[in-house]
Chains A and B, each alone.
Chain A
């Protein structure tokens, strides 16, 4: 279609511009040059793979033998400075998003972006999760969307071919029309037969479905809930051995809590941990905080108990014949619990995580900052009162 006419170039009002356009043959030469440059640009797309999940594996398959994107001159560069295309392959979390944006900004112009897979396109079934960006086009200018979960290597290859087409057409001022569904179906149909179990009959399928134990909707009242839940096993008390009860007796603590770990008063909790450590429990396996609000059903809990937090701890001895000890602390909203950091260095990140996600305060923790969520996040996402579909700037 050639170079644009003089009228289209009205934005360039440099005096030389019109003079140059009047030189005979110059437009032909520049058009030819532009075509050569476009040919080079579209045939050497170096990729910066922003691979965070399973789509990354399919991306690797695309670079490997069967599909081999190197055929069209596409190689993978480890640094964004030398890349032309960023392939976002996988779920991008809110915290990751700022890093992705930074890497994108480090890529030299001209650059393109391919959103590979449902998560990169829309967030897919993680879309309403508190930590996930609902589609990278909320902060990146995506050129090509490659649908699939994950897309097949053939589909990604097709995405690259469409990107080449887009580069060629946009340099000429043309636009690319999105594909219709039938075109997509034609392209992404697998070119090799899938593995099929020829022995299997439709009757076998039906029989399997009928015999499956399919859960039905039940209105959960406390009574129903108690009947549905499995009987509590004796496992916890068996493997924990006599140490925890002995420690509690030593300290004169009467533990409460009928089921699950014994409840220890928050102000005595550090003493319990310290005594257990001196008895050989040297590893803090986990710190788990749970938020309870009226209405949350659980076996052994009255559904309309007032709002509270329960932080449970799990310690184990190191070496053969390992024993575990587990206890819990019940906290009112806003009430802090003593940090175990002085006893177990491993409590550092575990307590930070619980602070970040549930909002339990750990007194005397040396570095109580957020661990998972962005530093400027203003909520605790695993609290039960977190609204679904939370509007969260700037991604939503």
Chain B
């Protein structure tokens, strides 16, 4: 009992620190990556190759005035930024970084990750509502519509590895792939499309381009974060990156065989795969344009959901035919 508790506490602290550091580095990485895509250099002056840029940003945000607009609902306005960060970090608890490095390998790990991921929409909507700003409210409304819609294909695509491996525990799903094949490799005609749908729905859940209509700069200024200053904004910003990192890690565990790989220890492979997915997210983000709202819903309900249902059926058939 006390061993389990100690394990949980130690790994929680460890994983939270690692994920937060990784988030800071992700900020730097995205700026460098975006800059290279636009034939710029990105941060170069602050620290060696600009590595200290996130630190400077954080120090600056700490010093900024904390403004709560007069007409805002102060209680909710102040409550939601830490809630957003918490919800994003919470999902990291069950991500298996290696057979042993996992804070808590829950029996219902997949369910937990998706549930916590869905909770992030609450702080976003709370922020939009409590800011008492029409741009923030519109952004919050769009975020809710989008997140709830894309929840469906996300769940359906996550069901595929669950059915194939017969377990909701992320550790078991990865072990199953390590013993047989990664799900994107075999059965690839089920695993590959399911992986694609998972990544698309994940992008939409994290409100990243091409699904970033909740914070479309040209029309909504900065979406739900329009009224947030300093550290409160930083928490939202961080939550978005943590969400992307954790979702990349979950995608790697569900479809890409998690820690499985030759030569190197499992942790290396897991981090490498997460980083690859993370980079792919930014690659998409800095290459594509924004979807229109109706196109977004059309893609979800007309394509991703029917395909997801088909894939779940195909996975069930596969399991029955080739047990």
Contact residues of A with B, CB < 8 Å?
36-37, 39-41, 43-44, 46, 64-65, 68, 70-73, 75, 77-79, 81-82, 84, 106, 108-110
Q: Are A81 and B233 in contact (CB under 8 A)?
A: yes
Nearest-CB residue, chain B, relative to A41: B60
Within the complex, which residue of A40, A70, A79 is in contact with B35, where a contact is CB–CB below 8 Å?
A70
A39–B53 Cα distance when bound, in Å, is 11
A75–B35 Cα distance when bound, in Å, is 12
A70–B233 Cα distance when bound, in Å, is 20
Chain B neighbourhood of A84, CB < 8 A = 60, 64
Chain A neighbourhood of B39, CB < 8 A = 65
A46–B225 Cα distance when bound, in Å, is 15
B57 on the A face (CB < 8 A): yes
Q: Are B60 and A70 in contact (CB under 8 A)?
A: no
A167–B281 Cα distance when bound, in Å, is 37
A253–B274 Cα distance when bound, in Å, is 84
Query: Can you list, as one digit per residue, whether each of B23-35 has a CB less than 8 Å from chain A (1) or not (0)?
Result: 0000000010001
Can you name 19 A-B residue pairings with CB atoms under 8 Å? A40-B62, A41-B59, A43-B45, A43-B56, A44-B57, A44-B60, A65-B40, A68-B42, A73-B46, A73-B53, A73-B57, A79-B222, A79-B226, A81-B222, A81-B226, A81-B228, A81-B233, A82-B229, A106-B67
Known: A43-B60, A44-B56, A79-B227. 19 other contacts (CB 8 A): A40-B57, A40-B59, A41-B63, A43-B52, A43-B56, A64-B38, A68-B42, A71-B40, A71-B42, A71-B45, A72-B46, A73-B57, A78-B217, A82-B222, A82-B229, A108-B67, A108-B229, A108-B230, A110-B64
Nearest-CB residue, chain B, relative to A45: B60
Q: Are B64 and A109 in contact (CB under 8 A)?
A: yes
Nearest-CB residue, chain B, relative to A76: B217
Q: Are A108 and B53 in contact (CB under 8 A)?
A: no
B115 on the A face (CB < 8 A): no
Chain B neighbourhood of A68, CB < 8 A = 35, 40-42
Q: Are A44 and B53 in contact (CB under 8 A)?
A: yes
Chain B neighbourhood of A40, CB < 8 A = 55-60, 62-63
Contact residues of B with A, CB < 8 Å?
31, 35, 38-46, 50, 52-53, 55-67, 217, 221-222, 225-230, 233
A37-B59, A43-B56, A73-B53 given; A81·B40 CB < 8 A: no
Chain B neighbourhood of A109, CB < 8 A = 64-65
Chain B neighbourhood of A77, CB < 8 A = 222
A46–B55 Cα distance when bound, in Å, is 14
Of the listed residues A65, A77, A81, the one surrounded by the most CB atoms of chain B closer than 10 A to its CB is: A81
Would you give the shortest CB distance from A78 to chain B, in whole angstroms? 5
A44-B53, A79-B221, A82-B225 given; A39·B44 CB < 8 A: no
Within the complex, which residue of A39, A65, A70, A78 is in contact with B43, where a contact is CB–CB below 8 Å?
A70
Q: Are B59 and A71 in contact (CB under 8 A)?
A: no
Q: Are B53 and A43 in contact (CB under 8 A)?
A: yes
A81–B131 Cα distance when bound, in Å, is 12
Would you give the shortest CB distance from A115 to chain B, in whole angstroms? 22
Chain B neighbourhood of A82, CB < 8 A = 222, 225, 228-229, 233
Nearest-CB residue, chain B, relative to A108: B65
Would you give the shortest CB distance from A66 to chain B, in whole angstroms? 9
A287–B107 Cα distance when bound, in Å, is 76
